[in-house]
Amino acid sequence: MERITGVADQEPSSQLVHTFPGNWCGVPTIVGHYFVESVPAIRGLIAMDIAKPAHPIEVSRLTLDAEFEPHWTGWDAKTHRLVVTGSAGRLYLMKLDENTGVLTVDTAFHDANGKPGFDFANREWPHGWKGTGQPHGVVFSR
């Protein structure tokens, strides 16, 4: 995690302020003063309090599934949910406590099998194709 300063002065500089475990790509989301990063190395997410940008503090860490390497996150301000996609054909909805930064899985969002999230494996899709979908990026719309 890099902190960029000096942009307004036309003299930008960068300072490393935090390193996440592993070395794989994750697409973060900022909600208020929380920076939520998908971290494939821990098979989950890490929430950082960035109220003091030079000194971010980890406030929550959540492992999702031993087979799931998260990649993309997106925030829905209307429902106050975070969506997460990753390496497996599944997506999850998460709750983020906007006061504390604590992350939890939204267990009310689940498949017919009762497992949290939405399973993209071996489905018959509306356009006629049958197979496993691989979600990558995801956004909410109004």
Structural domain boundaries in the chain: 24-131
Residue 142, pLDDT > 70, answer: no
Residue 102's nearest CA partner among 47, 31, 65, 56 is 47
Which tokens go with 40? 């494939």
132 burial class (0-12, 13-18, 19+ CB within 10 angstroms)? Answer: exposed
Alpha carbon 98 to chain centroid distance?
A: 15
pTM greater than 0.75: yes
Tell me the pLDDT tens digit for each residue of 68-111: 899 999 999 999 999 999 887 889 999 999 999 999 999 999 98
Tell me the pLDDT tens digit for each residue of 35-76: 999 999 999 999 999 999 999 999 999 999 888 899 999 999
Instruction: Check if the beta carbon of residue 117 is closer than 8 Å to that of residue 93.
Output: yes
Angle (nearest 5°) at CA 109 between 106 and 110: 120
